[in-house]
Chains A and B, each alone.
Chain A
Amino acid sequence: MSSPDSDSAATTAATATRGRAVTVRDVSFRYDSGVTALESISLNVPHGSRLGILGPNGGGKSTLLKLILGLIRPTRGRVEVLGLPPRLATRSRRVGYLPQRLHAAWNAPLNVRQVVAMTAALDVAPWRALPPEVQGRIDDLLDLVGMAHLARRPIGELSGGQQQRAFIARALVSRPRLLLLDEPTVGIDQAGQAQFARLLETIHRELDLTILIVSHDLRAIAAGCDDIAVLSRTLHYHASPEGLTPEVLAEVFHHDIAAFAHLRHGGQGHENHDEGGDGDRPATGNGEDRAP
């Protein structure tokens, strides 16, 4: 799935002048419980690039995402998103966010279109209907992600891969400059993952945006990233996927197993939702997990 070298080199050269999508400068984060989730992280994500952040559970990936989304503030250091403080960037809808699928209430009586419209609808005054211009954009995106024929289907009746594509469309409705993906492959089968990687490729090519993928699953990242960073409390590695050796992975993941055990005993389990589990879980199973 990775694009030819010349292609990505050209993109990088063209976008270098346009500044950075995400700047993380010497950031540390400590939870109230005293657990240090991130330590002295520095990260630059150029516009138009595709960065994958790989890390084991409890390695601080979700914390980093929350910092970039502006949901929490760093204990030390600075985060800038599209040249703005993260909170402002998120509020201005220039950041599209693909949350972990397992968090959603799949029993909700909503169809695909209603889910896709959800975030854009937040900007419309309560007494107004969704403007035709937004409606049109939703239709275009449903086409782009190949979900137009399923637009009226209840979201809970779709496969994991289809739900993921609906979520991608939702993240793109407000035309973001930066797309954040949180564990995009969890609960999606092989075929779905391949399709998803192709979709990301298309989105990157057609919409000219920066993509940042956070995952514990190497496949999620290797499929569609130009650069890769390995995160386990500190940033261990930052290079192209081709340069990632088994030695580096082994070292980081081993290091983290110890770190995670420590979290389990001493911490509040703030990273618990990272343990969504992988493997092929049918969508209905997720829904029933949430049933009362």
Chain B
Amino acid sequence: MMLAWQTLEYLEFAFARQALIAALCIATAASALSGIVVLKRLAFVGQGISHAAFGGIGVVAILGLSAAAGELVIFAFCLASALAIAGLTRSRTEEDTAIGIVLVATMALGFLLLGLRQSLAAPGGWEWYRSYISGSPRPDGWEAILFGSVHTAGQTGMWLSIAVMVIVLLTVWWFRRPLMAFVFDEVAAQASGVRTRAIRILLMVLLALVVVVGMKLVGVVLISAMLILPGAIAGQFTRRLLAHLAVTWVSAVLGVLGGLVLSFEFDLPTGPCIVLVLIAIFSLGAGWQLLLKTAARLIGR
């Protein structure tokens, strides 16, 4: 109780309210894709896409771009890596290998450019970056990129999150029928005239959008958790469509709300807090499954 009370005090501040709204939008957008990511085994793809952000950040650093241009460059990097993964997978490379290659390539590029920037302009080489994340004096750059922070959303971040949520929800709704066929059986979908390549690319674009806006809150390392865990949790509880969508959304929202409270109260990085809450829900689901199985065995006997 005391914890929640302190969080309410935090919400007097604009940055906290903005972070809250941004978090709810990201949770909603991510949950709309989460079921697809889990069923279509795209979990690791999210990881590859988010780490590509490092490459983008490196380019932003070396060119000294503004925040808005920076967003675009980072989005372009995430999208390009998503498409590169899809392209490589179509030829002779296995998907996990393709993701591994793209992930390390973009990260290496990012670190290289950041290092170059630092040696060119140190000290004060991080100024560009501070303005990029929020203008707030804390937390320090690396930690925020890696693990996310409530301080990095800001008003722009909030509006971007709202926009991405609207785009993702509308697109998924509009293409729900081909998406459903694609997820259930790609070969059969193709035989029914679904343009599976176009659908795959569309999914990559949506994933890149969610990753780019979600990254600042949850961090590069853990954003894919937002895409994996809600769908995985729903899979434990139900095999009915509406219930599945509901459980996915509720668990994503609980995850970000719980994570934000923990982050506010104990001044911890936001990403790990959100992920821990989601993992806790997932464990509950696993426990529930175990309980059901045990009960079934007892009754069956």
Which residues of A approach B to under 8 Å, CB–CB?
69, 71, 90-91, 93, 97, 99-100, 103-105, 107-111, 114-115, 118-119, 121-122, 124, 126, 154, 156-157, 268, 273, 290, 292
Contacts and interface: CB of A to CB of B under 8 A. Distances in A.
Contact of A292 (B43, B180, B188, B239): B43
A154 B239 contact: yes
- Which bucket holds chain B's interface residue count? 35 or more
B240 A154 contact: yes
A99 B193 contact: no
Given A109-B238, A157-B239, A268-B92, A99 B184 contact: no
Contacts of A93: 192
Contacts of A97: 188, 191-192
Interface in B174-195: 174-178, 180-181, 183-188, 190-194
A273 B35 CA distance: 25
A265 to B, nearest CB: 16
Nearest to A100: B187
Contact of B239 (A100, A107, A119, A124): A107
Contacts, number: 85
Contact of A90 (B39, B180, B193, B244): B193
B184 A109 contact: no
A99 B177 contact: no
B198 to A, nearest CB: 13
B200 interface: no
Given A111-B241, A157-B239, A121 B177 contact: yes
Contacts of B239: 107-110, 154, 156-157
Given A99-B187, A126-B173, A107 B235 contact: yes
Contact of B184 (A91, A104, A292): A104
Of A69, A124, A273, most B-chain CB atoms within 10 Å: A69
B241 A114 contact: yes
Contacts of B193: 90-91, 122
Contact of B39 (A71, A105, A119, A124): A105
A249 B239 CA distance: 44
B201 to A, nearest CB: 18
Given A118-B180, A122-B181, A268-B92, A103 B194 contact: no
A34 B222 CA distance: 43
B191 A118 contact: no
A107 B37 CA distance: 13
B187 A108 contact: no
Contacts of B35: 109
Contacts of A109: 35, 234-235, 238-241, 243-244
Contacts of A104: 184-185, 188
A186 to B, nearest CB: 14
A126 B181 CA distance: 14
A93 B191 CA distance: 10
A93 to B, nearest CB: 8
A100 B35 CA distance: 23
Given A121-B177, A126-B173, A156-B239, A108 B184 contact: yes
Contacts of B43: 292
Contact of A122 (B178, B186, B232): B178
A121 B35 CA distance: 20
Nearest to A98: B188
Contact of A103 (B174, B185, B238): B185
Contacts of B238: 109
Given A99-B191, A114-B241, A156-B239, 7 more contacts: A107-B235, A108-B183, A108-B239, A109-B235, A109-B243, A119-B188, A122-B194
